[in-house]
Amino acid sequence: MGEGLWDAPVAPGAVEATVRVPGSKSVTNRALVLAALAEGPGTVRRALRSRDADLMVSALTALGATFTPVGEGTADSVDWRVEPAAAITGNTSVDTGLAGTVMRFVPPVAALADGDVSFDGDPHARKRPMGALLGALRALGADVEGDALPFVVHGSGGLPGGDVTIDASASSQLVSGLLLSAARFDKGVTVRHEGPPVPSAPHLAMTIAMLRDAGVEADDSRPDVWHVAPGPVAARDLTVEPDLSNAAPFLAAALVTGGSVTIPDWPESTTQPGDALRGLLSEMGGSVELTPRGLTVTGTGTISGIDADLHEVGELTPSIAALAALADSPSRLRGIAHLRGHETDRLAALAAEINRLGGRARETEDGLEIDPRGLRGGEWRSYADHRMATAGAIVGLAVPGVKVQDIATTGKTLPEFPAMWAAMLEGSR
């Protein structure tokens, strides 16, 4: 479909569907890094196949790890057998694309390489916050040329590590990137955050939990301080959970259409931020039920406005904003100033696209105020941002004539999104 316009389908009735979403990008890319740093081979099962995950595999392959698919896999899922490199290799380059996990998680790995590793990515990636991470690597003993993409890590075969203080208020990935490789640093690492609150705390909890599962001593018991001790990363087999944040547009469809959508294999306990959908969609008028079958959300056809602090779950903002634009009362989304530094400036983008279709959305210092009114059809720009594209699809369920620009950008985390969306709507009644 390229960068053309995709006619967002209007729901013909109340959706009744079961939608199986592929594996979590956040878990997949953390698991791939840990597998590449482990003391022996391991398997990452049901790993996501998407642009971001493929970029991670390519980056770690460039640094010497070997990834072999096991079994047939699917268009969006693969079992990887990972053979770590005996020594991380340099004299190579890494394409980060627009993947925050690649641009933040791989440079600390590259600092352990035995030669130069150059990094670059998509044009907008050059605008994403990197200075705090690269400065931290220098403080830990790395030789880094540059403060944003493109940059070069001059690897020397190891990294002293130790204590470092950073401002990670732009992204929790700045901390996670240091922690994931820290067991391979000579002294491990202690990261201290100074500045406004770190967003997306569940992602940091995910990093710590996955390190511990890999046998690494990781401590997050003190506020804004994270410690990882030096030592081996255990080789292990891991099965990736479904990506709960990617379930957001499908569950939102239940509210928009007054139907019911079930996501199978929803975990009872998880560190994924997407689990917050249970509470958010309930507040917006949905009935939410978690059973052994999965998570089922049922709507009434009426959507309630919401006043919500989304600081910890910012990635859900585009879907919640799309619902807010279709609600029967105003919404205020708070605590998400950091979204201005995501794949695009998501606050400006959401306000522009809602207003373009006749809605009323206003940026605030730390979020959005959305006062719903009748929307009309028109172009919804995606800004090469997968979550902006799916937000346009949500709006299009209720508003005839919405045309989403570059729906193919959903391939970043949901390679089969248009087909999945069409299949969901086939069950409308």
- Is 379 annotated as contributing to ligand binding? no
315 catalytic per annotation? yes
CB atoms within 10 A of CB 328: 10
- Is 155 annotated as contributing to ligand binding? no
- Is 128 annotated as contributing to ligand binding? yes
- Is 315 annotated as contributing to ligand binding? yes
3-state DSSP helix/strand/coil percent for the chain, to nearest 5? 35, 25, 40
- Is 360 annotated as contributing to ligand binding? no
Among 398, 388, 400, residue whose Cα is nearest residue 344: 388
- Is 369 annotated as contributing to ligand binding? no
| Helix segments in 182-316, DSSP class H | 201-213, 248-257, 277-283
> CB–CB of 402/378 below 8 Å?
yes
- Is 173 annotated as contributing to ligand binding? yes
- Is 200 annotated as contributing to ligand binding? yes
- Is 319 annotated as contributing to ligand binding? no
> CB–CB of 247/272 below 8 Å?
no
Helix (H) or strand (E) holding 396: helix 386-398
- Is 181 annotated as contributing to ligand binding? no
Can you read off the two tokens belonging to residue 218? 């990781």
Residue 45 Cα distances to 36, 50, 263, 324, 414, angstroms: 15, 15, 19, 36, 17
Query: Quick one: CA dihedral 267, 321, 53, 190, positive or negative?
Result: negative
- Is 387 annotated as contributing to ligand binding? yes
| Helix segments in 140-231, DSSP class H | 173-181, 201-213
- Is 222 annotated as contributing to ligand binding? no
- Is 304 annotated as contributing to ligand binding? no
Given 312, 315, 343, 353, the catalytic residue: 315
Q: What does the alpha-carbon distance between residue 329 and residue 348 come to, in Å, rounded to a whole number?
A: 21
Hey, which residues are catalytic here?
Answer: 315
Residues annotated within a binding site for 3-phosphoshikimate: 25-26, 30, 171-173, 200, 315, 342
Residues annotated within a binding site: 25-26, 30, 100, 128, 171-173, 200, 315, 342, 346, 387, 412
Residues annotated within a binding site for phosphoenolpyruvate: 25, 100, 128, 173, 346, 387, 412
